[in-house]
Chain A
């Protein structure tokens, strides 16, 4: 039983992705595009040469972190839709420290990263506190916190960090994650050292959840609050802590953009979608640290590769978004696939 269960957890996402790709192909056919050309463009857009590969890794980095953020909260039974806002405040905090301080790299870079962690954590703390003490549902609060983050940050960029400009100055090199070596390796892509931080964060999440008493409590609260209270755990504290850690992961994703990819922060007309995509990444990765790594890779590849489809195969960007949405749809409806697989197994006997 357990062996086939394990096989299932691997098989189901793979089949989901394949079904999504097939459905995407059908849509391309119906709309009069060549799916083989389309998917070739997608492949080349993600892995075509050193440059695109570097860009793909760059794309994966923040998705991995927001995926971890959402997954972490999920393990405590909380739905952190606020990763988006936490990314934005983390991004701002990192760039602010990057601009405002003059210090050697060994101090400046960690300080900027810490600032992003703290900002994200604060943005998670507020909904956590409201949930734990007043029972306000975290979904509502985190959605509102997203808007507060977006518009406050825009305001700060326009009036505090710049004088009515849309983009800040570039951060000082001592706070930058950019790497000439990695850029050289990937033909001047924007790939940066952040991927190492993101991978380290994944290991950290696994360690906290699986190996520490903190993780033991967080999961227990997520599974059964009554039994956790009975066992002497502080349920409120754990809810807040979970949202704080989740927010910190998302804030770190903001630092990847601010210190790595762009080196600046610009006024945003809308959300970055990094946080929202993180929900799908967490779901696809089954809220497990290593699952999230794989899911983030898939998402990064699809997003980066899709950029090539309009130019490479003439498939309009709207259609590309539909295809990606279909893949997510099939993953989300994995219950159906599980059911069908069980049916087949039964009949095979």
Chain B
């Protein structure tokens, strides 16, 4: 058999845990091979072993049938292994070419020969149909383009095997489509690809075979042609998974939340929200679909008081909440699951218990006359930990020590416990695995069924289509179209998100 890469019975231990236990992955020449597993299953560890960042305790790695010992990333590079990282490693003020040659610059008489390098980069880009402008500045090109620069970088260094780490997390549906085309043209040119992902649909679409990892153990390798999304999911999680979130039709009541002609500027004083209108009724989930950077973050920050609004109005139950302090906004009945849970949602160095009272610590019974009552605080924390299934050694454990999914559950527990009139959930499932996503979606729908208003902001179209009762597409600081999820599809949404004119179906719902 012609395997380009073989990782046989790999075992990697860290103090106290076995991250990889007897995992075997064999990559055939010219195939796209998926590496599937939940967060924390050990995918990244395994790839770091292949990339020379970790040394395995047991097992061997073979490249083209020859046993090799990869003790550092340079050796991996020399063996033709390249990695396209999830978080791009690019220098923003540099051009594409400057980024690509960074680390092994071609020189002529001691000066960097940028002309020659630019020509080479452009040639590779054209060969694989990447459509990258070699002289463009990184800060001027889109996220999708930046990812292609990462691909170019590995190709420039002569990679035959490309590892893609969650490549679609930051892309629009159209960009994902283009990425798949690029992958296929790479294969056509004789490259081989390992795709790290937990998105099952993508695997079904592009991969030839799939190796599943669960809790550090290799579960096995399957031919994608012989499997299905639900089979893959149960292999990954170890139990059956419900995909379509079950929910009754919404029973929306009166309008509780209203935004009119809102204008918000970002910290560079550029308008990001440009005269936006939005209404949410009690008992419905409104999902905002849009590509990152179209004003969603500024909108959420303006509602929650973290950012000043320039003009327009925001009302909750007919009371003005525009430009109130975050505390006043919270007290007026808004719950906020922030987009960046590490930056905003938690004080990571505080125990879970202290994080549970982050907005209520100054109130009874958690404190009296400015003196904290830890007994009450930890009692509450214990309640929430139990009710929201937060897996933590105890309520005294630092929030930092929890996995992403459990941190998010703690935040959701905290926000829902105040039973807010309006719950804002910004990217509530980003980076989480199937099990946690299922749980969070269920909670959002429960909240709706209790007659609360929910605003969901997400870059994942599946999530928007699945959970929302009404979809509002946001583009360039405005809601360009609103519609019911059953009246649209991913393709139409993708076009609207990219700024094309609204189709007839969307338009009719635009003005309610």
Given contacts A213-B372, A216-B372, A227-B346, are A232 and B359 in contact (CB under 8 A)? Answer: yes
Q: Which of A212, A213, A219 has the most CB of B within 10 A?
A: A213
Q: Is the CB of A227 within 8 A of B345?
A: yes
Q: Which residues of A contact B350 (CB under 8 A)?
A: 219-220, 223
Contact with A along B307-347 (1 / 0, CB 8 A): 00000000000000000011111110000101000011111
- Nearest chain-A residue to B357 (Cβ)? A216
**Option from A211, A212, A223, A231 in Cβ contact (under 8 Å) with B359:** A231
Q: Is B362's CB within 8 Å of the partner chain A?
A: yes
Q: How large is the interface on B (under 10, 10 to 19, 20 to 34, 35 or more residues)?
A: 20 to 34
Q: Is the CB of B372 within 8 A of A211?
A: yes
Determine how close the nearest CB of chain A comes to the CB of B159; give it in whole angstroms: 35
Contact with A along B355-376 (1 / 0, CB 8 A): 0001101100001001110000
Determine how close the nearest CB of chain B comes to the CB of A346; give it in whole angstroms: 8
How far is B372's CA from A219's CA once the two chains are assembled, in angstroms? Answer: 14
Determine how close the nearest CB of chain A comes to the CB of B42; give it in whole angstroms: 21
Q: Is A144's CB within 8 Å of the partner chain B?
A: no
Contact with B along A217-254 (1 / 0, CB 8 A): 00110011011111111100000000000000000000
Q: Is A214's CB within 8 Å of the partner chain B?
A: yes
Determine how close the nearest CB of chain B comes to the CB of A270; give it in whole angstroms: 38
Q: Which residues of B contact A227 (CB under 8 A)?
A: 343-347, 358
Q: Which residues of B contact A216 (CB under 8 A)?
A: 354, 361, 372
Q: Is the CB of A232 within 8 A of B326?
A: yes
**Option from A230, A233, A234 in Cβ contact (under 8 Å) with B306:** A230
**Binding site of A, secondary structure by majority: helix, strand, loop or mixed?**
helix
Q: Which residues of A contact B367 (CB under 8 A)?
A: 212-213
Q: Is the CB of A213 within 8 A of B370?
A: yes
Q: Is the CB of A212 within 8 A of B349?
A: no
Given contacts A216-B354, A231-B359, A232-B326, are A226 and B371 in contact (CB under 8 A)? Answer: no
Q: Is the CB of A230 within 8 A of B371?
A: no
How far is B16's CA from A220's CA once the two chains are assembled, in angstroms? Answer: 30
Determine how close the nearest CB of chain B comes to the CB of A281; give it in whole angstroms: 23
- Nearest chain-A residue to B374 (Cβ)? A211
Q: Is B348's CB within 8 Å of the partner chain A?
A: yes
Q: Is the CB of A232 within 8 A of B330?
A: yes
**Option from B326, B348, B361 in Cβ contact (under 8 Å) with A230:** B326
Q: How large is the interface on A (under 10, 10 to 19, 20 to 34, 35 or more residues)?
A: 10 to 19
Q: Which residues of B contact A214 (CB under 8 A)?
A: 370
Given contacts A216-B361, A231-B326, A232-B327, are A223 and B371 in contact (CB under 8 A)? Answer: no
Q: Is the CB of A231 within 8 A of B370?
A: no
Q: Which residues of B contact A234 (CB under 8 A)?
A: 325
Q: Which residues of A contact B304 (CB under 8 A)?
A: 230
Contact with A along B109-131 (1 / 0, CB 8 A): 00000000000000000000000
Determine how close the nearest CB of chain B comes to the CB of A5; give it in whole angstroms: 12
Q: Which of A1, A224, A227 has the most CB of B within 10 A?
A: A227
Contact with A along B293-314 (1 / 0, CB 8 A): 0000000000010100000000
Interface residues of A in 196-220 (CB under 8 A from B): 211-214, 216, 219-220
Q: Is the CB of A232 within 8 A of B325?
A: yes
Given contacts A213-B361, A216-B361, are A228 and B347 in contact (CB under 8 A)? Answer: yes
Contact with B along A268-311 (1 / 0, CB 8 A): 00000000000000000000000000000000000000000000
Q: Which residues of A contact B372 (CB under 8 A)?
A: 211-213, 216
Q: Is the CB of A212 within 8 A of B345?
A: no
How far is B367's CA from A223's CA once the two chains are assembled, in angstroms? Answer: 21
Determine how close the nearest CB of chain B comes to the CB of A249; give it in whole angstroms: 19
Interface residues of B in 275-309 (CB under 8 A from A): 304, 306
Q: Which residues of B contact A229 (CB under 8 A)?
A: 306, 326
Q: Which of A216, A228, A229 has the most CB of B within 10 A?
A: A216
Determine how close the nearest CB of chain B comes to the CB of A195; give it in whole angstroms: 27
How far is B347's CA from A216's CA once the two chains are assembled, in angstroms? Answer: 11
**Option from B327, B330, B343, B361 in Cβ contact (under 8 Å) with A226:** B343
Determine how close the nearest CB of chain A comes to the CB of B426; give it in whole angstroms: 11
Q: Is the CB of A224 within 8 A of B330?
A: no
Determine how close the nearest CB of chain A comes to the CB of B178; give it in whole angstroms: 34
Contact with A along B365-402 (1 / 0, CB 8 A): 00100111000000000000000000000000000000
Q: Is the CB of A223 within 8 A of B347?
A: yes
Q: Which residues of A contact B346 (CB under 8 A)?
A: 224, 227
How far is B354's CA from A233's CA once the two chains are assembled, in angstroms? Answer: 14
Q: Is the CB of B326 within 8 A of A224?
A: no
How far is B359's CA from A211's CA once the two chains are assembled, in angstroms? Answer: 17
Q: Which residues of A contact B349 (CB under 8 A)?
A: 223-224
Q: Which residues of A contact B306 (CB under 8 A)?
A: 229-230
Given contacts A211-B371, A230-B306, A231-B359, are A220 and B326 in contact (CB under 8 A)? Answer: no
How far is B347's CA from A231's CA once the two chains are assembled, in angstroms? Answer: 10
Q: Is the CB of B326 within 8 A of A212?
A: no
Q: Which residues of A contact B345 (CB under 8 A)?
A: 227, 230
How far is B348's CA from A213's CA once the two chains are assembled, in angstroms? Answer: 18
Determine how close the nearest CB of chain B comes to the CB of A58; give it in whole angstroms: 34
Q: Which residues of B contact A212 (CB under 8 A)?
A: 367, 370-372
How far is B348's CA from A214's CA once the two chains are assembled, in angstroms? Answer: 19
Q: Which residues of A contact B336 (CB under 8 A)?
A: 230
Determine how close the nearest CB of chain A comes to the CB of B398; give it in whole angstroms: 10
- Nearest chain-A residue to B336 (Cβ)? A230
Determine how close the nearest CB of chain A comes to the CB of B357; give it in whole angstroms: 9
Contact with A along B58-99 (1 / 0, CB 8 A): 000000000000000000000000000000000000000000
Q: Which residues of B contact A224 (CB under 8 A)?
A: 343, 346-349
How far is B372's CA from A234's CA once the two chains are assembled, in angstroms? Answer: 18
Q: Is the CB of B343 within 8 A of A213?
A: no
Q: Which residues of B contact A233 (CB under 8 A)?
A: 327
Q: Which of A1, A211, A231 has the most CB of B within 10 A?
A: A231
Given contacts A223-B348, A230-B336, are A213 and B358 in contact (CB under 8 A)? Answer: no
> Which 4 pairs between the two chains have the least Cβ-Cβ distance?
A232-B327, A231-B358, A230-B344, A232-B326
Other than the given A224-B346, A226-B344, A231-B358, 5 more pairs (CB < 8 A) read: A213-B361, A220-B358, A223-B349, A227-B358, A232-B325
7 A-B interface contacts by CB (under 8 A) = A212-B367, A212-B370, A231-B327, A232-B327, A232-B328, A232-B359, A233-B327
Interfacial residues, chain B to chain A (CB-CB below 8 A): 16, 304, 306, 325-331, 336, 338, 343-350, 354, 358-359, 361-362, 367, 370-372
Interfacial residues, chain A to chain B (CB-CB below 8 A): 1, 211-214, 216, 219-220, 223-224, 226-234
